[in-house]
Homo-oligomer: A and B are copies of this chain.
Amino acid sequence: MDQHSPARMEDVAQVAGVSAITVSRVIHHPDKVADATRERVLKAIETTGYVPNRVAGSLASNQTRIIGALVPTVTNSIFADTIDGLTDELGAQGYQLLLGATGYSLAEETRLINAILAQRPAGIVVTGLQHEPAAESLLRAAGIPVVETWNVDGQPIDMTVGFSNFNACHAMVERLVARGARCIGYVGAPTLANDRAAQRVAGYRAAVAKLGLEASDSLVFEGKFSFAAGAGRLRDLLATRPDVDAVFFGNDILALGALFECQRQGIRVPADLAIAGFDDVELAASVAPALTTVRIHRYEIGRQAARMILERLRGDTTTPDLTDLGFEIIERETTPAGRAD
């Protein structure tokens, strides 16, 4: 008892006067053990302070209850919601989350995929559809359910859950034009190693071109994920192109930073300049004027990704390989009001 290596199943078995396999049964198939025996074993587990060793169990059974997940960064509240969706669903089913942050680096992603796969997870969730070829083959060869999230525009490895960044931005530009915008600037996240951001600008460019508006590089900027960057890029844009009447931001943080900058500079929103964001963070609705944005279902992405993996593991073959959670244009006060329709 006082030996300082933790109790093993064998120790519990000895205390309960049974064999190890019976202890294993009490833990995994309690109904296959007689009531009296089960009680005795449970008591022995308690007195020995036994905590099952899943690494041994996983090796023997050749399966873990771990799901790997890779996000660019956790600090970006956007992915935090997805992670919460993941842990909520996974936790309820007795699975656990092995988390990695790539820092928007594809090379780091590959490295982390390798490290996670070494733990032989039951499934893995990654962000986006863009990966190094090495990462893709690693994922394919792993022989486990793989879910790519946050983007449905592309060739999935296995399963996908998310929405069309392209369509969402396209739709927002159309709405902006319907509300009177004629010269629309765009400020988005860096597109390097970020297919979601790339699809977003692409959607903007396509819509602008389709609607016969000016589609110039002088209208497009990139900014890091911060309020300060939103303010800075707005200043840059206004300096080059004072004729813009609307700016569409690739995420709400940039948009809100720009909105605050407008307030500081006395630019009236939306009278002088319309502003639209993307993500619909809580702040978007709480700020004054409230931000027009695109609502996406961040928490549900995580939740659904977990569900798809779990169903696949259960042998459920009816699960679709692609779940498009869609998006909604939320018009609030930073864009001109349209007639009720």
Contact = CB atoms under 8 A, between A and B. Distances in A.
Number of copies of chain A assembled together: 2
A263 B288 CA distance: 8
Interface magnitude class on chain A: 35 or more
Interface stretch (A28-36, A92-100, A186-194, A197-205): A92-100
A118 interface: yes
Interface in A224-273: 226-228, 231, 256-257, 260, 263-264
Interface in A51-86: 51-56, 58-59, 64, 66, 73-77, 80-81, 83-84
Interface stretch (A108-116, A303-311, A312-320): A108-116
A226 B88 CA distance: 20
Contacts of A115: 94, 96
A263 to B, nearest CB: 6
A325 to B, nearest CB: 18
Interface in A95-151: 96-101, 112, 114-120, 137-138, 141-143
A145 to B, nearest CB: 15
A59 to B, nearest CB: 5
B91 A96 contact: no
Given A54-B119, A143-B6, A84 B73 contact: yes
Interface of A: 4, 6, 49, 51-56, 58-59, 64, 66, 73-77, 80-81, 83-84, 87-88, 91, 94, 96-101, 112, 114-120, 137-138, 141-143, 226-228, 231, 256-257, 260, 263-264, 282-283, 286-288, 299
13 contacts: A51-B114, A51-B117, A51-B118, A53-B120, A54-B118, A54-B119, A73-B84, A74-B80, A80-B80, A91-B112, A94-B115, A260-B286, A260-B287
